[in-house]
Amino acid sequence: MRPRLLDLFCKAGGAAVGYWRAGFDVVGVDIEPQPHYPFAFWQGDALEVLANVERQFSAIHASPPCQAFSALRSLGNARKDHVDLLTPIRPLLKASRLPFVIENVPGAPMRQDFVLCGTQFGLGAGESVLRRHRWFETSFAPPALVGLQPCAHTPGATVMVYGHGTPGHLYRMARSVNVYRQPGGTSTRDGLAFHSQAERCEAMGIGWMNRGELSQAIPPAYTEYLGHHLMRAVREARA
């Protein structure tokens, strides 16, 4: 039988698909309805579910909301009152005594046992790469990142291709895929064409989400890779 994984703060299931590919059956939990979640789904408070869950799972993944730690929080029109749910969930995960993975954005108050980026998995669309860093803290010791190439970019080099566009010239496609702003369109100032929703889905390896869901998603390639290490931790715990 496939071991069962509890996917907390699951959103539309990017992480879930990766774990499923790695061999887990997955049950998602989120406070909001997730009509596009591809597996069994429980709507509810993740902290309450974790505090009361019976030992019917073999492993846990948690992706607490990242807005409290995201670099986007520094924007002038961004909300500043986001709740930190990462800190209170860690002791609950440890108390479960199950192998677990916590995911969040760079800058979150957590260990960086794994730091993954889309460029390590060859993710992208056309000539553009997916620069999407995520931190992962795990209950198991991180091995060397065997089979992964290093990030194939330098800081800032894949975020934008700066420079003013010249009227009448073709726009250059941004070199990295940005899943936050409105899909498509161009920037006259920077001389850029932005990626379409289809290109963003291609870059993330996700074909079932809308724009809002995609902006919060984890590429399944990340958790498929982590899932194999997590599966090893599950087998060791059972032994």
pLDDT for position 131: 84
pLDDT for position 196: 81
Q: Concatenate the DSSP letters of all residues of 76-117 into one string.
A: TTS-S-----HHHHHHHHHHHTS-EEEEE-TTSSS--SEEE-
51 strand-pairing partners: none
pLDDT for position 8: 98
Torsion-angle region of 97 (φ positive above 0: left; ψ -120 to 50: alpha; else: beta): left
* Residue keyed to tokens 């989120």: 30
Q: What is the mean pLDDT of each run of 10 residues along the chain (239 residues)?
A: 96 98 98 97 95 88 77 48 85 94 94 91 84 92 72 50 31 55 56 76 92 91 96 92
d(CA 157, CA 129): 11
pTM: 0.83
* Residue keyed to tokens 């499923």: 20
* Topology, domain 4-144+208-238: Rossmann fold (3.40.50)
d(CA 165, CA 155): 23
The tokens for 64 are 């607490």
pLDDT for position 151: 82
pLDDT for position 165: 32
* Residue keyed to tokens 């800058």: 107
Give the three-class secondary structure for 126: coil
Q: How many other C-beta atoms are found inside a 10 Å radius of the C-beta of residue 53?
A: 18
pLDDT for position 180: 55
Whole-number CA gyration radius for the chain: 19
d(CA 43, CA 197): 27
pLDDT for position 13: 98
pLDDT for position 71: 47
Closest listed residue to residue 97, CA positions, set 62, 63, 58: 58
